[in-house]
Structure 1
């Protein structure tokens, strides 16, 4: 099997022609590549340069990137993930939140301009993808338009002695879906397909989308939450940009009525995204296991 080619590719210029392929990818894989999307390549390249410079800042400045919700700010290397650090921005649709993020990291005017443009473009993109996933299931695509998005820029300090080890542990994302602008040159991401970890090699200019725990709950079990990890394959710095569509800000996460019937009884209790995120943090169940704690008793 040619593993790299196994990951589905969705041509964003070919809708409605891609709806069936999108639905199958979301149900069977929980991830797919997006090509021919609307984000300019020049903006993606410029943003990646800025990300590298921000992650190279002195730690005293990076620590100014404080949490809005738990875990949304600067992540320093830890005992569990010693090769990994990240900066974050909660609520990308808020111009004030973007302004605060830039101020925390002392971004220059030109850097601010690029970050603002990228935040707007990727936020529109993630809402579009979320809507198309719902439409591929025959549902209204407006369900996620007010959900907050979180932005995280990641750096993996891969060194020779760590080759063959894990850069980030196996996990699922707690939110609905994630858009990843991967490192164009350094691989390492692997996704779980039926118990086998499949390498995801870089494909410049594309975006990788994966579904999280909220997608599984919202869809009453139809959409697949993706287990994935990052492996250290070579002694290079790996940088990526992740955008997370989280879940309703205040309302509970529940499946649309169309997805619940006698053949598909309700699988999960009602809860807010924040309640579920706190459950994952408190139990340290990071790879989808926390879903078992919110199942209905039926």
Structure 2
């Protein structure tokens, strides 16, 4: 798995594009080091997340869905150690404000904060993640020789997750193997508690150890479609490896809200024919849910036969 640094010098930037393409094609996963999001903000956001996930369940249930699984997710028989909250369209300050008001975080409340501190942290964090994604989209396009703008105006979804691991759950699977349905996920991992594993080209699981201060990026099904099969949609899962609470923050960049997803013409030629028919992200999301296939298998239903 490649490790990338945020650097703007000309020659070094070209090397970064090369490393980014190699990581995207070989692993579908890479770490970002020395990024522009302050460690203080990341730490403050993690503290807010822990407070939110410790709220009474009747308050957490106010985090209702916009699309399936975009709001509060309680433990189930399939993921009995996991629960999470979500902000759909977190690039919009209004969506963040609605999320905070539903969980009693407006300025006049003192349950969690006394001076809007928590809401400001969430707003700062979501904006920083959105800006970082725009930069990553530009870099991913340049890595394959394009000047495209990715992620602007796209659907996006922030999830804050907690895994309640105990001695009895060690060795079990907390989140089944899957690929992300969208283009790209920026993950602020726990930093202390391991558990994430990805599948390499040989089909073996590789443990991704915590690395405080860095951000992990996974590419999903839409990235594979957009790149005409060049990028890897990485399979991954979460395993329970120690009796501890694991918290993570995932920023998903899904796809265009209305426009069709398809490979740009520059990535299609006689040697690289178009692999997938155009489709909208929303149609693809519904397809994955309807056939209950979550590890990239749904892409076979949108393959081009020409």
Q: TM-score range by the shorter chain?
A: over 0.9
**How far did 1:80 drift?**
0.8
Q: How does 1:77-116 map to 2 (within 5 A)?
A: 77-107=75-105, 108=113, 109-116=116-123
Q: Tell me if 1:157 matches 2:151.
A: no
1:12 pairs with one of 6, 29, 36: 6
**1:92 to partner: Cα distance:** 1.2
Structure 1: distance between partners of 2:266 and 2:120: 42
Residue of structure 1 in register with 2:44 after alignment: 46
Q: Report which stretch shifted further, 10-19 or 129-138.
A: 10-19
Distance in 2 between residues matched to 1:289 and 1:148, nearest whole Å: 22
Q: Secondary structure at the match of 2:218?
A: strand
Unaligned runs of 5+ in 1: 1-6
Q: Is the 8 A contact 1:166 1:230 kept in 2?
A: yes
- Indicate which of 253, 264, 267 corresponds to 1:259: 267
Q: How does 1:184-195 map to 2 (within 5 A)?
A: 184-194=191-201, 195=203
Is residue 2:33 matched to residue 1:26? no
> Alpha-carbon deviation of 1:15?
2.4
What SS does the aligned partner of 1:270 have?
Answer: coil
Q: Of residues 129, 132, 135 in structure 2, which corresponds to 1:122?
A: 129
Q: TM-score, normalised by structure 1?
A: 0.96
- Choose from 185, 191, 199 the match for 2:207: 199
Output the CA distance in 1 between the equivalents of 2:76 and 2:90. 26
Q: Deviations over 1:200-223 (max 9, x none)?
A: 000000000010000001111011
Aligned with 1:178: secondary structure?
A: strand
Deviation string, structure 1 residues 222-266 (Cα, Å, up to 9, x no partner): 110010000000000000000001100000101100011111111
Q: Shift of the alpha carbon at 1:19?
A: 0.8
Conserved 8 A contact 1:132-1:141? no
Partner of 2:43, secondary structure, is helix
Is the CA contact 2:134–2:150 (under 8 Å) kept in the aligned structure 1? no
Of 222, 229, 241, the residue aligned with 1:221 is 229
C-alpha deviation, 1:17, in angstroms: 3.0
Structural RMSD (CA): 0.9
- Whether the aligned pair in 1 keeps the contact of 2:175 and 2:237 (CA below 8 Å) is yes
Q: Which runs of 4+ in 1 moved over 4 A?
A: none
Q: Which residue of 144, 147, 162 corresponds with 2:151?
A: 144
Report the number of matched residues: 292
- Alpha carbons 1:191, 1:227 under 8 Å: kept: yes
